[in-house]
Amino acid sequence: MINVVTLLKESGAILEGHFLLSSGRHSNRYIQCAKALQYPDKAARVLAPVAGQLREAMQAGAIAIDAVAGPALGGIIVAYELGRQLGLPAFFTERDDSGTMTLRRGFEIWDGMNVLIAEDVITTAKSSLETATVLERLGARITALACIVDRRAEDVHIALPLYAAAKIEAANWDEADCALCRQGIPAVKPGSRKQ
């Protein structure tokens, strides 16, 4: 069985420092899953545990999945690889010029479509929930979330079932409570979200 954290470390995906996360929160650790996902064999290995959990949940009737959707950018490869391993179509949502999450490129949703939302790292699930809103407006039913790394703080709760390859503990602060800001350490923003 694969140790996901070991694979991420070997790939250089776990960074230490002072980071501004896409969620707007600050952290002393950043998980750059793209470092592992750039290798198709590692992408397959790191997502195999999630695909296994999802397969078991579907066979047990706990969830239904007709397609996998990922918020761009971090969810594109994750959605594709989970779709490949589960034998399901995969697509992605992306931000338009105004920064609003949208479904484009001819991807279609049918009324009642059961969609799994997948991304690389979940801290607050903001991108996943934005994707959920877009797809629900088009008639989809969001049945679960999936990710490589669940790095939520204890006070962050998500109403949907969450399937993760690994849980990684990392400091996770609102800017006003950030210990690294108080020390005068500048934050860097390695993520893709502009807002």
Distance CA 180, CA 186 (A): 8
CB atoms within 10 A of CB 90: 22
Q: Is residue 21 part of a domain?
A: yes
Residue 193 has what pLDDT? 56
Query: Are 121 and 151 a contacting pair, CB within 8 Å?
Result: yes
Tokens standing for residue 118: 């997948």
Average pLDDT rounded to a whole number, residues 85-94? 97
Strands 26-31 and 14-20, bridge-based pairing = antiparallel
Q: Is residue 52 part of a domain?
A: yes
Q: Is residue 188 part of a domain?
A: no
Average pLDDT rounded to a whole number, residues 128-132? 94
The pLDDT of residue 190 is above 70:
yes
Query: Are 195 and 53 a contacting pair, CB within 8 Å?
Result: no
Q: What CATH number has the domain bearing residue 72?
A: 3.40.50.2020
Q: Is the peptide bond before 73 cis (omega within 30 degrees of 0)?
A: yes
Q: Is residue 194 part of a domain?
A: no
End-to-end CA distance of the chain: 38
Q: Is residue 191 part of a domain?
A: no
Residue with tokens 């390695």: 190
Q: What is the pLDDT of residues 46-72, one digit of tens each?
A: 999 999 999 999 999 999 999 999 999
Q: Is residue 189 part of a domain?
A: no
Residue 152 neighbours by CB under 8 Å, 6+ apart: 122, 123, 124, 125, 158, 172
- Share the mean pLDDT of the chain: 91
Give the domain range for residue 29: 4-182
Sign for the CA dihedral angle at 169, 171, 174, 175 comes to negative
Q: Is residue 123 part of a domain?
A: yes
Q: Is residue 60 part of a domain?
A: yes
Distance CA 98, CA 87 (A): 34
Domain count, the chain: 1
Confidence class of residue 151 from pLDDT cuts 50, 70 and 90?
confident
Q: Per this entry, what is the length of the chain?
A: 195
- The three-state secondary structure class of 168 is coil
